[in-house]
Amino acid sequence: MSRMATGDHLKLLKGQLSEKEFRIGELENRVKDLFIEAKELDEKLRIANRNARVLEEENSNYHIRIKSLEKESDTSDVFPLQREAMKLIQENEELRKSLTEAERHVKQMSIRERNSDHGADKRIRELQSECERMQKERLRESKELENTRHQCADLRKRLDDNEETLKSAKELWDQERERYQQKIDELLDFNKRAERPLVTPFARNRNGGVEEPLEQFLLKEEVAQLERKLKEAQHKSWEKEKEWVRTENELRHRISELQVNGSSEGRNDEALFQAMKDQVRSLQDEIQALRYDRRGSRSAQAVPMSLIHASSTVKPAAKSCLLEEWAARYESVSRANDDLRDQADAAKVKILELQNVIDEKVVTCKEMEVRLAAAQKQLEDASHESLTDRLSSVRSTGGYSYGSRATGAPHSQDDARAMIVLKQRVRDLEAELKKLNSAQEQKEAISHIRIKEYEKQIVELLHENANLRDVGRAQVDSEGGDTVINFLDGVMRLTKDKRESVEEVMRLLEFTWDSEDEANRQLRRAKYQGAAMAARGAAKDDEIQRLQKYVSDLESKLRDTEKLAHDNDDLKDTVGALRKQNRGVTSENDRLRKKVGDLEKDKEEVVQQQSAKQNEAKRRVEKLQAEIVDLTRKLTNARKAGSRPVSPNISARSPQPVTRSPRPSARRRTPEAIALSELSVRSTDEQHRSAIPEGAHLAFTVVMLMDVLRNGRPITEPGHVIIKLKSIKEKYRTSVKVLSSVIRFDETFVFYLAQPDQDVITLHVFYKQHGVSREFHIGDACFSMATLYRGVPRQRIAPVVQNPGTKEARRAAQVEVCLQTDDFGKTMEPTEEEVKKDRTSFNELVKKFENSAPEMLHAVDVYMASNELQ
C-alpha cells in the first residue's frame, strides 16, 4: 500500500509540474506579445518623429515664402496667404502637442510593460525554484522510502532466519528425546530380564504364585507419569503456539486495515484545517475589498458630467495607484501565506515531538513486558530445577516416588496461571484496538464533514469573486481599461495559482510526512514483534535447557572438540600473523634496498655533475688564460706600434678587442620567460593583425587526469587530487576528486585576457593523503593561446612535469584539456590534415624534450606556439 501511495503521490507531482510548465509557457508567450507591442509602438514613434521633422521643414519653407511675399507683393495679395500660414502653424503646434502626449503615453506604457515583465520574470524564477525544491524533496523522499524498504527486508530476513533456526533446533531435540526414550526403554527391559530369575522363585516360595517386584512396579509407574507429563507439556506448548499464531495473524490483519484506512483518508489533521480556515478568511477579506472598490466605482459614476473631462487627464495616475494597491494586496497575501507555512511547520514539529514521546512510552511498556517474561522464566527454571532434583533422588532411591508425583501439581498450576495472564493480555490488546478503531472512525467522519463544508465555502467565495470581477470589467472605460484588466486578471490568476500550488504542496508534504510516520510505526512494530519472538524463543530455550540436562556427556565432548578447534584457529592466526610480519619485513627490505639504490644513483649523478662542473671550470680557466695571454700580446704589440708611426693599412686591419663586463645581478631566465619574450617580439604588421580588444575570453576545460606518479612511482596510499589554474591576473581551482588511475573532471573555466597572444595558462596538480593535512605538489603544465583558431576547440594531452625547469624534471602525470575562444585567434578554419600535423608535431616535440631537454618538458605547448609564430 505504501508503494501504491508513493506512486499516486509521484503522479500528482508530475501533473502539477506539467501544469506549472504550461502556465510558465503562457506567461512567456504573453511577455513575447508585450515585447512585440513595444516594438510596434517604437516603430510608430519613429514614424511620428519623421513626420514631425517633415512638417517642421514645411513650416520653415512657409515662413520663408511669407517673408519673400511680404517683400515682393502687396498687402492685399499677401493677407490670405498669411491666414493659411497661421492655420498651418497652429496645426503644426497641435500636432507637436499630440506627439508629446503620445510620447509621454508610450513612455508610461513602456514603464508599465517593464514592470510587468520584471514581475513576470520574478514569478517565473520563484516557480522554477519551487519546482527544483519539490524535485529535491521527491528525491529525498524516494531515498528514505528505499532505506525503509531495505530495513524492513532485513528485519524480515532476520525473523525468517530465527524461525528456521528454532524449527531446526526443535526437530533436533525431538530426535534426541526419542533416542533417549528408546535408551530408557532398553534399560528397563534389561533390568527386567536381569531381576526376573531372582524375584520369581522368591514370590513362588512365599505366596505360591507369580508376583512382580516392588522396584520394577515403582519404576513403571514413574516412567508412565513422566510420559504423561511430557505429553501434557507438548500439548500445552502446541496450544500456546496456535493461540500466539492466531492472535498475531488477527493483529496483522487489523493493522493492515488501519493502514489502508489511515493512508486513504487520514491526511487531514488540525494544522491543515487551520490553514484552510486562514485561506478562507483571506479570500473573504479580498472579496470585501473588491466590494469596497465596487462601491467606490459606483460613487465615482455619480459625479456630474462636467467633471468627466477633467478626470480623463488623471486616468494614468489612478491606474498607477490601482496597480500599486493590487501589488500591496499581493504582498500581504504572500506574507500571510508565509505565516501559514510557519504555523504548519511548528504544528508538525509539535506532532513529531508528541509521537516520539508516545513511542518512548511504548518502548518502556515493551521493556517492562520483557522483564516480566524474564522473571516468569526464572521462576519456571527454579521449579524445573527442583523437579529434576526430585527425579534424580527418585532414581537413586526408589522410596520417594509418591513425593515426586505430588510436585507436578504446582508446576501445572504455574502453567495455568501463565496462560490466564496471557489470555488477559490478549483481551486487553483487543479492547485497545477496538477503542482505537472507533476513535479513528470518528475522526475520519468529522474531517470528511469539515472538508465538505470548507469546499462549499470556497466555491461560494469563488463565485462571488468571479461576479465582482465581471462587474469591475464592465465598468472600466474602453480606452485603457482592457490592458489594466488583463494585467489585473493575470495578477489574480498568478496569485490564485500560487495559492493553489502552495496548498497542494502542503498537502503532499503532509501526506509524505504521514507516510514516513507510518513507516516508522511499522518499523517499531516490527521491533516489538522481534522482542515478542525473542520472548518466545526464551520460553523455548527453557524447554531446551530441560532436555540439555540429559546430554551432559555430549556437551563435555563438544566442549573438548571446540577447545581443540579454538586451539587450531589460534595456531592458524599466529601462523598468518607471522606470515604477514615476514611479508612486511621482506617489503621493508625491498624498500630499503630500493632507497639504497636510489641513493647510490643520486651519489653517482652528483659525482658526475661535480666532475662535469670541474671540467667546465678547468676549460673556462684555460680559455681565460689563453685570452689573457692574447691580450697581453696585443698590448705589447700596441705599445710597440705606438712608439713608431702606424701605417693606415695596419691600423685598418688591426681588430679592436670587444670585451663584455659580466653583470653580477643578471638572473637566470626560466623557459616560460624565454618563450614569452620570443612570443612578444613580433612585427608591427602582425601586432596590427592580431589586435584584440580588452576583455577577450578563453574557455579552458580540464577533461581528465591520468597515470598520477610521485618520484616516478605510482601512489598507493588513498587520497584526493586537486588542480589549480592561473593566468597573469586570474586564479581558479577544480573540485576535489578521489585518486584513481583515470580522474575525470569535465570542468570549464573562463579566463578574461588582456593580451591573449602573450598570456600563458599554468596548471598545478596537488595530492593530499587521507588523514594528513599536508599537500604534495605533483607537477606543472603550461599552455599557450597564441595559435588558436577562432571558434574551433583545440584538444591537448600534455604531460604534467615534476620539478619543472630543472635537469631533474620528469613526467608525473598526463592531463587532457580543451581550449576554445570566439573573440581572438586565426579567422580561417583549419583542415583535418593541419589538425593531424599539429598533433603529430606536438607528440614529437614532447618525446624530444623528454629525452634531450627535460627542463622544457612542462612548457611544450608554449615552445611549439613560439616556433609556429617565428
pLDDT surpasses 60 at 88 = yes
Query: Which of the two residues, 164 and 198, has the higher pLDDT score?
Result: 164
**Which has the higher per-residue pLDDT, 767 or 446?**
767
Q: Are 727 and 680 in contact (CB under 8 A)?
A: no
d(C-alpha 863, C-alpha 679), whole Å: 9
Give a three-class secondary structure readout of 64-107: HHHHHHHHHCCHHHHHHHHHHHHHHHHHHHHHHHHHHHHHHHHH
**337 pLDDT band (50/70/90 cuts)?**
low
Q: How many Cα neighbours within 13 Å face the side chain of 773?
A: 0
Which is it for strands 713-714 and 719-726: parallel, antiparallel or unpaired? unpaired
Amino acid at site 610:
Q
Q: Which residues pair with 817 in a beta bridge?
A: 702, 796
Which of 57-66, 390-399, 776-785 is least confident? 390-399
Of 194-208, 220-234, 599-613, 679-693, the poorest mean pLDDT is in: 679-693
Predicted pLDDT of residue 847: 92
Distance CA 761, CA 815 (A): 14
The DSSP-derived string for 515-558 is: HHHHHHHHHHHHHHHHHHHHHHHHHHHHHHHHHHGGGHHHHHHH
Is residue 121 within 8 Å of residue 85, measured between CB atoms?
no
Q: How many CB atoms lie within 10 A of CB 508?
A: 19
C-alpha angle with apex 681: 679 to 687, nearest 5 degrees? 90
Residue 654 CB partners (closer than 8 Å, separation 6+): 641
Region 438-454 average pLDDT: 69
| DSSP secondary structure of 335-359 | HHHHHHHHHHHHHHHHHHHHHHHHH
Give 566-597 pLDDT, tens digit per residue.
787 887 887 788 788 778 777 877 888 888 88
Residue 576 Cα to chain centre, angstroms:
43
| CA dist list (Å): 167 to 162, 429, 433, 687, 860 | 9, 28, 31, 92, 75
Instruction: Look up residue 700 and give its amino acid.
Output: F
Amino acid at 289: A
CA distance 218 to 405: 12
More confident residue, 167 or 542: 167
Q: What domains, with CATH codes, occur in the chain?
A: 2-204 (1.10.287.1490), 243-296+320-512 (no CATH), 691-869 (2.60.40.150)
Residue 695 reports pLDDT greater than 70: no
Q: Say how far apart CA 363 and CA 748 lie, in whole Å.
A: 55
Q: What is the pLDDT of residues 253-310, one digit of tens each?
A: 766 666 565 544 444 445 544 555 565 566 556 555 544 554 444 444 444 444 434 4
Name the pLDDT band for 161 (thresholds 50, 70, 90): confident
Contact 344, 275 (CB under 8 A): yes
Distance CA(522)–CA(525), nearest Å, equals 5
476-503 per-position pLDDT tens digit: 554 445 555 555 566 566 666 666 766 7
* Best CA proximity match to 727, nearest among 693, 701, 684, 759: 759
b/e for 186-219, b at 16 or more Cβ within 10 A? eeeeeeeeeeeeebeeeeeeeeeeeeebeebebb
Cβ neighbors of 846 (< 8 A, separation 6 or more) are: 798, 799, 857, 860
- C-alpha cell, 138: 521527491
The amino acid present at 861, given as its one-letter code, is: D
Asked if 811 and 801 touch (Cβ cutoff 8 Å), the reply is yes
Q: Which three cell numbers stand for residue 182?
A: 528408546
Residue 782 pLDDT greater than 90, yes or no: yes
pLDDT tens string 361-413? 766 676 677 777 777 777 777 666 655 555 454 444 444 334 444 444 454 56
Give the cell for residue 279: 485561506
Q: Look at residue 800 in the predicted model and tell me its pLDDT.
A: 95
Q: What is the pLDDT of residues 118-141, one digit of tens each?
A: 877 787 788 778 878 888 888 888
Between the alpha carbon of residue 507 and those of residues 225, 230, 329, 498, 510, the distances in Å are 68, 60, 25, 14, 5
The contacts of residue 316 (CB under 8 Å, 6+ apart) are 105, 108, 480
Question: DSSP label at 662?
Answer: P
In the prediction, which pLDDT does 627 show? 81
Of 809, 825, 867, nearest to 842 by C-alpha is: 867
Q: Three-state SS for 481?
A: helix
Sign of the Cα pseudo-torsion (607, 608, 612, 613, in order)? negative
Output the CA–CA distances (angstroms, integers) from residue 543 to 172, 173, 341, 529, 548, in the order listed. 13, 10, 59, 21, 9
Q: For residue 83, with 0-12 CB atoms within 10 Å meaning exposed, 13-18 middle and 19 or more buried, which class applies?
A: exposed
| CA–CA gap between residue 283 and residue 457 (Å, rounded) | 10
**Burial zone of 751 (CB within 10 Å; 0-12 exposed, 13-18 middle, 19+ buried):** buried
Q: What's the mean pLDDT in 839-857?
A: 91
Q: Reduce the DSSP state of residue 806 to 3 states and report it.
A: coil
pLDDT at 564: 80
**Chain segment 637-665, per-residue pLDDT in tens:** 776 654 444 333 333 333 333 333 333 33
Parallel, antiparallel, or unpaired: how do β-strands 696-706 and 731-733 relate? unpaired
d(CA 371, CA 750): 69
Q: Which residues have C-beta within 8 Å of that of residue 393, sequence separation ≥ 6?
A: 400, 404
